Structure 1
């Protein structure tokens, strides 16, 4: 069953349920009327993980839950903590303590301040009230839906395996101000340096992707941020893995349209989901389901 709501779409299992929850927090393409951005929409769309929810759309068919945001990450980023907010973006004092991270310094905190070093998103400061409205109407509902799906899995199966799904720009190293001797991999698996997910599950996903001809890196340059840090508690049988796909693998970054490879990539990821489903059903390294 699919439940459309203002902030997200939640698609439940269409096959016997698995302890697998997938979420795409950055693929939203609905730009709220009160955004008030000062850059053209076409440029603002560079922040989208466009079509990621479609790449992984087979998740419900294998027994997983799939949650996809409708709102763009440049409006409010569901993969940040609520205190990761740049006070320089606000026209008034925030009522609670803030702890801006390195992401905020780069302009990519809870509320994005810029698209790159030379391109601010706003020609104004944001009021405290409008940021609080974004939190209340978009951020909190998304997090509540994800938390409910996670807890439902834990209560039913005694654990959960969570895939946090993203895409990354081809110039990711440049955007992150990182000098790298190696090209960006087709997929980057992030488990915050081995702390958020059981190693066997990460190895399974990596092996499945490599078997289909993709290059794969771990935690370079993306380790995972708020969502997997919160959800991933392997000692409690709560496993969370961030999966980033390089955008030119499946789409044209300038037009945001799927490229000729899209159907093949979508099929490959469907096959990966089936392999994950088999792994969970077989109960490798844990009690059978």
Structure 2
């Protein structure tokens, strides 16, 4: 649910020069005045949001001192992890499902109501925090309906031009015995909008982490991954300092 009609909520106080978390797809909330025109229950699947990420981000903020900027509206209403001019910023299709209510939607109105406030607040928040590392948290479905592909990774790191933090995280997650993807199941060179804008363009180090959704469906699993992600992020930050 959106609080005070804002498309985001911020949990915890950032430690200046510390680590922060950003979760663009954490919510499947749809405002009452928007009709997506999809089958009942679809909003609760991976097309509606990144399952598990809201719980992980909350736990990182409340238990591990990693403040979080968390989306409070579904990606089907407005995809905050797209550029404003991207065709899918208000998607009319997702994993083979037509989002009928978005056909002919007022895209400019959605941008003004959701996308711009989200990113303006995130920009100010990051400017104030001056973080040493941003964790951009996402999750992916083990299996798409519209495409046959093997998705064996348990966790993955995405990046565009700057892979300096990702390289350390790939190694550290691998040392935990996990099957780690390198720019999988999507490539950050094609889709890295939020970190392109708020990290790479500003010279900030970041980790875009994708976790497979069947591993983070419960509160216990989310608590475990919150601890693991925080530990890896802290170790990456130390490694980056040593290289500076």
Please point out which of 99, 114, 120 is paired with 1:121: 99
Equivalent residue number for residue 76 of structure 1:
78
Structure 2: stretches of 5+ with no match in the other structure = none
Give, in whole Å, the separation in 1 of the partners of 2:137 and 2:124. Answer: 18
- 1:238 matched to 2:238: no
Q: Residue 148 of structure 1: CA displacement? A: 1.3
TM-score (norm 2): 0.82
Larger CA Rg, structure 1 vs 2: 1
Flag structure 1 segments of 5+ consecutive residues without an equivalent. 86-108, 252-257
> Aligned-pair distance for 1:242?
1.5
Distance in 1 between residues matched to 2:152 and 2:181, nearest whole Å: 8
**What is the distance in 2 between the residues matched to 1:76 and 1:28?**
11
Runs of 4+, deviation exceeding 6 Å: none
Deviation of the 1:72 alpha carbon: 0.5
Q: Distance in 2 between matches of 1:69 and 1:55?
A: 13
Helix, strand or coil at the partner of 1:196: coil
**Which aligned pairs between 1:1-289 and structure 2 lie closer than 5 A?**
5=4, 6-13=6-13, 16-46=15-45, 47=47, 48-56=49-57, 57-59=59-61, 62-85=64-87, 109-117=88-96, 119-122=97-100, 125-128=103-106, 131-154=107-130, 160-172=132-144, 175=146, 177=147, 183-192=151-160, 195-197=161-163, 199=164, 201-224=165-188, 225=191, 226-233=193-200, 237-251=203-217, 258=218, 261-276=221-236, 278-279=238-239, 283-286=241-244
Asked if structure 2 preserves the Cα contact closer than 8 Å seen for 1:18 and 1:63, the reply is no
Instruction: Give distance in 1, aligned partners of 2:226 and 2:19.
Output: 18
Partner secondary structure for residue 77 of structure 2? coil
Q: Which structure's relative contact order is higher, taking Cα pairs within 8 Å and 6+ residues apart?
A: 2
Q: How many Å separate the matches in 1 of 2:79 and 2:151?
A: 27
Aligned length in residues:
235
